[in-house]
Amino acid sequence: MPWLWTISYDPFPPGGAKREGNGMLILMRKPGESITIGSDIVVTLVSLDRSRARIGVQAPRDVPVDREEIAIRKKQDGPAKTLDPDE
């Protein structure tokens, strides 16, 4: 059976309630395959192991790439404080 890939976009969840934002684009990839975001971000499915996926992200250094729980913590903590060597 040939490999099938699917792109789906569902702006409304089941039950007809309107979802905030633009919804979610869902893409299926096999290990080693990539998704390009814009012209300079590439997301690659590196491997699958039971219920875990290893994902590689190539992005410019000025684009923050964090796991969700780290991004939430950064948002709650506010801007990072810089240390002044003279203090």
Domain annotation covers residue 84: no
Please state, for a pLDDT cut of 90, what percent of the chain lies above it: 45
Question: What is the model's pTM?
Answer: 0.61
Domain annotation covers residue 87: no
Tell me whether residue 43 is exposed, middle or buried, using C-beta atoms within 10 angstroms of its C-beta: 0 to 12, 13 to 18, 19 or more: middle
Q: pLDDT tens across 12-52, in order?
A: 555 544 445 567 788 889 999 999 999 999 999 999 998 89
Domain annotation covers residue 34: yes
CB atoms within 10 A of CB 79: 6
| pLDDT beyond 80 at 86 | no
pLDDT band for 84, please (50, 70, 90 cuts).
Answer: low
Number of domains the chain is built from: 1
Average pLDDT over the chain reads: 77
Domain annotation covers residue 69: yes
Tell me whether residue 39 is exposed, middle or buried, using C-beta atoms within 10 angstroms of its C-beta: 0 to 12, 13 to 18, 19 or more: exposed
Rounded Cα distance between 9 and 24, Å, is 6
The predicted pLDDT at position 87 comes to: 54
> What domain range is 71 assigned to?
7-77
The predicted pLDDT at position 51 comes to: 87
